Every structure is written in C-alpha cells, then in structure tokens.
Amino acid sequence: MSVLVVTAVEAEREALMRDIDSATAKQLEVIVAGVGPVSAAVGAATALARRPDVTLVISAGIAGGFASRIAVGEIAVADRITFADLGARTDAGFLTLGEMGLRQDSSYAVTDLRVRERLAASSLRVVHGEVLTLACMTGIDADAEQLASRHPHAIAEAMEGFGVAAAADNAGVPFAEIRAISNRIGTRDPSTWNMQGAFDALRQAFAALMKEPW
C-alpha cells in the first residue's frame, strides 16, 4: 500500500515526517502542494496520475478550531469535508451550490474509517466532525459565528481538504483529512496561536497513524 499525504507548506511536511522511520517512510509520499483548494487539487491530481499504486490520500496540516467544539492542540479528523465558501452570499444568507440549483459536489463524506480507527486507539486527543475548506480564512468573530451556525457539526477550518478530496474522488481513491488545531477561529490574533503545539500534535498523530504497516 502507498499513502499520499498532501500538505500546504513545508513546515507541515517536516512536522508529520519527524518521527517516521525510514522503513515506514517507504509507504508514504508527502507532497507540499501549496495553499488553498486549487493548489491542493492540482498537486493531489498530479501525484495520483503518476502514482497508480496509491490507495489512500490524506490532506494534513494545521487548522483553526471552532470554540467549544475542539481545543487548541487537539487533532481534528474529518468525517465530512465541505467547501464552505463555495456558493453565493445574498441578503437572505449564504446559498450553497445545491441551493442555487447547481448539481456539483461541495461536500464529501469520508467513508474510509481506517485513519479514524488508528487514531482512536492512540492516546491523542482526537475529535471527529466536519472539517471546512475555505478559500478565504475566517478572521473576524461575526464570520466565525455565522459559519458555526451554518455548520453545527463543523470542528475546524482549513484551506485544502476539499481540493484533495475532489482529486482523490475523481481517481477513485479513498481519502481522509487530519488537522492539528493551532488557534480558535474568529478575530485574527497571532499572539494567541500555538503553532509549535499544533506541529507537535501533527507529528504525534502521524507517528500513531504509521505505527503499524498499512
């Protein structure tokens, strides 16, 4: 089995590979695709086209978490990946593609539970739920509250998961998303972020995930 892991930046790739030994690393290809759903989709699709042996694709990195649903330092594991700002803003509220009458996916259910099961067996603090993909990150409290209301099961937001899921789904390969929480969603205040703690949690999550061969 070969696992393709898609990250946005080099720091995420370095963190998740830090405790992976050379034998285990042979099961992995970790790419840095860039920030945002488009870069993620292109990177994942390109890698899948040249690696027909890949049997699992994981979008991984750090993320913002919804207050009261997940804490900084915890691991978010997606059971659904939703492109939360793909649609239209109207005076009456946000419209999804489906509500606009467009038959195109803007949300994927994660049906492969192997990642979830492996992390559940670890000692890590893991929360399962909807992980949102946004092309524009949430930086004010009002937007965070609106997102939380629209997505009552959402636990985290990032920028790449849906792009990775779309590429994997198109290739017929199972996919997952794992995020370590570095900050709470809302007013942008870097002084409250815990980037190192999130990178450490990501490192521990992948050490647990790859502890046994796939």
pLDDT digits 0-9 by tens, 61-94: 999 999 999 999 999 999 999 999 999 999 988 9
pLDDT in tens, 8-49: 999 999 999 999 988 888 889 999 999 999 999 999 999 999
Q: Name the average pLDDT for the chain.
A: 94
pLDDT tens digit string along 128-185?
Answer: 999 999 999 999 999 999 999 999 999 999 999 999 999 999 999 999 999 999 999 9
CA distance 145 to 112: 30
Write out the two tokens for 166: 């779309």
- Tell me whether residue 24 is in a domain: yes
**CB neighbour class for 42 (10 Å; exposed up to 12, middle 13-18, buried from 19):** middle
Q: Is residue 214 part of a domain?
A: no
- Residue percentage of the chain with pLDDT more than 70: 100
Give the pLDDT of residue 1.
63
User: Does residue 107 fall inside a structural domain?
Assistant: yes
**C-alpha distances in angstroms, 173 versus 50, 120, 191?**
14, 22, 39
Tell me which residue range forms the domain holding 77.
2-209
Residue 6: which H helix or E strand, with range?
A: strand 2-7
Positive or negative torsion for Cα 157, 200, 36, 25: negative
Residue 7 lies in a domain: yes
| pLDDT attached to residue 137 | 94
Residue 199 lies in a domain: yes
Read off the amino acid at residue 55. T
| Residue 83's CATH number | 3.40.50.1580
